[in-house]
Structure 1
Amino acid sequence: RTLAMSLYGDLDISVIDELPPGRKPIKTVHRYDGNRLKVFRFIRDEIEKGRQVYVVYPLIQESEAMDYKDLMDGYESIVRDFPQPKYQISIVHGQMKPADKDFEMERFVKGETQIMVATTVIEVGVNVPNASVMIIESAERFGLSQLHQLRGRVGRGADQSFCILMTGHKLSNDSKTRLETMVATNDGFEIAEVDLKLRGPGDIMGTQQSGLLNLKIADIVKDNDILKSARHYALQLLKEDPSLSKPENLIIRHMYAQLVKHKNIWTYIS
């Protein structure tokens, strides 16, 4: 919706299209559950190099309604594959007391644990430059903005970082598009445009943040350049003739008077 509002002219865009100095683009791959042994082998190799790893789950506990990997089950299998004392593992989720969460996070930040098993509570505000691998379990469960945010937890140091999107084989077309987008690009603008195509911009006048916006003529993504051009000329016109009283602008004034009678004027933008 933010992207849609910026196209419509309510917001200006500041383009930050390069990484901070010394950082490398994160390599992102999609792997199926059947590749888990290879993924675990890769984790061991990274830990041997002194790196740290995030493993993120969409659920804390198993759900009958949703067939997704859950944190508690995942934590147990990781503990079996990465036994103490050689490996130390932190666990963080939203049902923990704040003090316990802070304690576990602090252990990971200090490098006392090599693996952080977590839900999306680590989506923002966590900065561990030594963490080089982000594994997202049931990645099809997450939206593009969440996947992009989670991937941003790694790649914060000078070492090459990796994001591994783990899924089962049953994927919807939208899920495939999201995963393919994440593998193809690190560019937040490209990701936002794909998200806009998939979910729609929502209600620009209200609070709904996704959903279709059925314009009579324009397509908010395909017609991006035309919308920007239209905005430019509209601003120019209002600057030169704010009341639209010049003879050549009377037809625009008449059309506007007709449009404002409608409750949802946005659909008439073209």
Structure 2
Amino acid sequence: MLHNDPIAALTPQVVEWRHHIHANPELGFQEYETARFVADKLRTFGLDEVHEGIGGTGVVGVLRGRPGVRAIGLRAELDALPVLEKTGLPHASKKDGVMHACGHDGHIAMLLGAAKLLADNRAFDGTVCFIFQPAEENEGGSMRMIEDGLFERFPVEAVYAVHNWPGLPLGKIAARAGAMMAAVDTFELTFEGTGAHAAMPQLGDDPVLAAGAFVQAVQRIVSRSVDPQGALVVSITQIHGGNVGNIVPARSGCREPAASSSPLCRTIAKG
């Protein structure tokens, strides 16, 4: 540790904030306590402005440095996932079936740390907006904030964010030109036919079989319809059909959060 290193000195507190947030996760657009925790911390740091309730549960803190017209945004996400935590850690989730399994607790804590360090030493020109976004996981929280006037109220030249990456060695940062993370979209398909007894499937159409064939066939989009050097992933995450063990149902459906940095997947999802 460097002598008088402010980052090293603040790190234990940032870890403490992260553990608190991890132990008290909230789902998208329900991050009331998390947003309140963030807003309270920003106020104690002495930010010039702290705004709550943007796009639902979003928070924005404004910090002004030396006189200047330039402005940037630094962003983190507030929400957790509907996942049951079984880590057994001392700071494990206190809410059954809800967990910070994607690292947003760390993102929040890091952005709070950045706000604290910059507030303690305003040796920069212009303005920094600290944007804490709700509902990043599949719920469109960023768009809700934008529709609520985020960039009209807090105009910035660019917005920067980081995402944890467990496979990256400690102390390393990765960057690249172009898309870094996958965009997300969803689609639902319903296969309909005629139901039948499982012992006499020839008397009906089997939508479960059709859904299974689709799950395999849709992967050809990635392997045969997209440039191998492009980025695309298609993942079917839910299949629903039937409720009786010996009956072939008349209806089955697939649901997919399609994650991609390619517009192809979004076109398919909306089609």
The structure with more strand, counted as a fraction of residues = 2
Looking at both structures, which has the greater relative contact order when contacts are Cα pairs under 8 Å and sequence separation is at least 6? 1
TM-score (norm 2): 0.28
The structure with more helix, counted as a fraction of residues = 1
TM-score (norm 1): 0.28
